[in-house]
C-alpha cells in the first residue's frame, strides 16, 4: 500500500510528500505575460497547504503561441524577475517548485497561426498549418531558452508539456501527425521532437530536473492507444527525463472537435475503477514499464479517492487539480486527519 504522506526522492531532490499540484492556467498574469501579485498569492497559498510539489501552469515559450491572453510567459528574460518572486514564494513553505513550459501548437485563443505537424485542426473554426523543419529547430531552442530562464528564476525544475494536443502532443498523436518525414510515421519518429528537446536541455543545463507530461491514452480516432502510450513513455524515459506525468484525453467536454470513440457507458474496462475522465488508471498501466517516478492525476475531489489511490498503489505521486483550487489546504487537512473538513469543488 502506498503512503502519500511519505517523502520521495528523484533528480537529487527530496519531496516532503507525494502530493502534486498539476499545472492549471489561471489567466492571472499581465497582458505581457509578467507574474502579478495575484499569481504569487495563488501559488503561495497552496504551498502553505503542505503540497510536496507544485507545477506552475503552462508558461509560454513564445508569446505568439500562448494559451490565454494573460498567460504566464517564460519567453523573454524580462519575465525572470517576476518568475523569481514566484519561485521564492513557493519554495519558502517547503514545496518543490516546477514550472511547465509550453508551445500551444494547434490550440490557444485568437492566434494568427495554429501550427501543428500536419493540416489537421484540433479546435473548431481554426486552420491548421504544418510547421516547417526550420521552425521545428526554432521551437527546440525556444524550449531550451525557457528551461534556462526557469533555472535562473530559482525553480527546482521544469515540466515539458507534451499532453492535451498542444504542439509536442500534436506530434505524438497519429490523429494530428500525418507527416512523412523524420517527425512522422513510427512512434519513435513522432517522439523525435520531444526527445530532441530533452537532450538539448540536458546539454545546456546538465542534470537540471525534468518532468515530461504526456497523454498516455487518447479516446480519439487514430489517437494514442494504451500500447503506444507505454512505448512513448519508454522512449521519453530513455531520452533522459526524471519523472513522467501521465495525463490522457477521454471526455469530449474540453475537446469537442475531436472524433471520439467511446463514452462513459462504453469505455474500456481498465478505466472503470476511477471516475470517468480520470487519468489515474492510465498512469497505473504505464508505471510497471518505466523506472522513473510516475505522477497520476484526474478527478480527485475528496479524501475517498486519495485513499483508494493509496490502496491500489497506482503510481508514485498523486496530482490534485480542482480539489486544490477549491481548497488550498486540501493536503494539509488529509495529513492532519481532517479529510471531512475539505471544501469540495463544485462544477
7 located within any domain: no
**By the 8 A CB rule, do 190 and 174 touch?**
yes
Asked if residue 10 belongs to a domain, the reply is no
pTM of structure? 0.97
- pLDDT score recorded for residue 109: 84
**DSSP class of residue 339?**
G
Query: Can you read off the three cell numbers belonging to residue 311?
Result: 490502496
Q: Name the β-bridge partners of 210.
A: 158
pLDDT value, residue 253: 72
Residues 113-162 have pLDDT tens digits of: 999 999 999 998 899 999 999 999 999 999 999 999 999 999 999 999 99
Share of the chain above pLDDT 90, in %: 95
Helix residue spans in the chain (DSSP H): 37-48, 80-91, 133-153, 167-172, 187-190, 192-205, 226-239, 280-286, 303-312, 322-326, 330-335
The number of distinct structural domains making up the chain is 1
Contacts 24+ apart (CB under 8 A), 122-131: 122/165, 122/170, 122/176, 122/255, 122/257, 122/258, 123/257, 124/256, 124/257, 128/176, 130/179, 131/167
Q: Residue 267 domain-assigned?
A: yes
- Look at the block and give the residue holding cell 471516475: 275
Q: Cβ(296)–Cβ(306) under 8 Å? A: no
CA distances from 205 to 200, 208, 221 (A): 9, 6, 38
Query: Dihedral angle at the C-alpha atoms of 110, 112, 115, 118, nearest 10 degrees?
Result: 100
Q: What is the pLDDT of residue 175?
A: 97
Query: Rounded to an integer, what distance in angstroms lies between the CA atom of residue 90 and that of residue 99?
Result: 11
**71 closest CA partner among 104, 95, 116:** 104
What is the structure's pLDDT at 117? 98
- CATH number of 99's domain: 3.20.20.70
Q: Would you name the residues annotated as active-site residues?
A: 166
Q: Can you tell me the distance from the alpha carbon of 190 to that of 91, in angstroms, rounded to the nearest whole number?
A: 36
Helix (H) or strand (E) holding 210: strand 210-218
Return the half-sphere exposure (C-beta side, CA atoms, 13 A cut-off) of residue 251.
10
Residue 347 lies in a domain: no
d(C-alpha 18, C-alpha 214), whole Å:
19
Range of the domain at 87: 15-341
pLDDT tens readout for residues 156-195: 999 999 999 999 999 999 999 999 999 999 999 999 999 9
pLDDT at position 148 is 98
- Is position 75 within any domain? yes
Instruction: Flag whether 4 is in a domain.
Output: no
Percent of the chain at pLDDT above 70?
Answer: 100
In a domain, 150, yes or no: yes
Q: What is the pLDDT of residues 274-298, one digit of tens each?
A: 999 999 999 999 999 999 999 999 9
Position 91 in a domain: yes
Whether residue 27 contacts residue 71, with contact meaning beta carbons closer than 8 Å, is answered with yes
Band of pLDDT at residue 325, cut at 50, 70 and 90: very high
Amino acid at each position: 500500500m502506498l503512503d502519500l504522506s511519505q517523502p520521495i526522492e528523484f533528480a537529487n531532490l527530496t519531496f516532503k510528500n507525494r502530493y502534486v499540484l498539476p499545472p492549471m492556467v489561471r489567466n492571472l498574469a499581465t497582458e505581457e505575460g509578467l507574474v502579478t501579485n495575484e499569481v504569487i498569492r495563488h501559488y503561495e497559498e497552496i504551498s502553505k497547504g503542505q503540497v510536496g510539489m507544485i507545477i506552475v501552469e503552462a508558461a509560454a515559450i513564445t508569446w505568439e503561441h500562448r494559451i490565454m491572453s494573460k498567460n504566464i510567459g517564460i519567453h523573454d528574460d524580462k519575465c525572470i524577475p517576476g518568475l523569481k518572486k514566484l519561485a521564492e514564494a513557493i519554495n519558502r513553505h517547503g514545496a518543490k517548485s516546477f514550472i511547465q513550459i509550453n508551445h500551444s501548437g494547434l490550440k490557444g485563443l485568437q492566434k494568427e497561426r495554429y501550427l501543428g505537424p500536419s493540416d489537421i485542426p484540433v479546435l473548431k473554426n481554426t486552420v491548421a498549418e504544418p510547421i516547417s523543419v526550420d521552425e521545428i529547430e526554432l521551437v527546440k531552442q525556444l524550449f531550451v531558452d525557457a528551461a534556462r530562464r526557469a533555472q535562473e528564476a530559482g525553480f527546482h525544475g521544469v515540466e515539458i508539456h507534451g499532453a492535451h494536443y498542444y504542439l509536442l502532443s500534436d506530434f505524438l498523436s497519429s490523429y494530428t501527425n500525418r507527416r512523412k518525414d523524420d517527425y512522422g510515421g513510427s512512434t519513435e519518429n513522432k517522439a523525435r521532437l520531444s526527445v530532441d528537446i530533452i537532450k538539448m536541455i540536458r546539454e545546456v543545463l546538465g542534470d537540471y530536473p525534468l518532468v515530461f507530461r504526456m497523454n498516455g491514452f487518447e479516446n480519439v480516432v487514430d489517437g494514442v492507444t494504451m500500447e503506444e502510450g507505454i512505448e512513448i513513455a519508454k522512449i521519453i524515459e530513455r531520452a533522459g527525463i526524471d519523472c513522467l506525468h501521465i495525463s490522457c484525453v477521454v471526455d469530449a467536454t474540453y475537446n469537442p472537435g475531436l472524433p471520439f470513440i467511446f463514452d462513459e457507458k462504453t469505455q474500456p474496462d481498465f478505466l472503470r475503477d476511477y471516475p470517468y475522465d480520470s487519468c489515474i488508471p492510465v498512469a497505473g498501466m504505464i508505471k510497471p514499464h518505466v523506472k522513473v517516478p510516475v505522477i497520476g492525476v484526474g478527478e480527485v475531489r475528496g479524501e475517498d479517492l486519495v485513499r483508494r489511490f493509496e490502496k491500489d498503489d497506482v503510481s508514485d505521486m498523486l496530482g490534485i487539480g480542482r480539489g486544490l483550487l477549491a481548497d488550498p489546504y486540501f493536503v494539509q487537512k488529509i495529513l492532519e486527519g481532517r479529510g471531512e473538513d475539505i471544501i469540495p469543488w463544485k462544477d
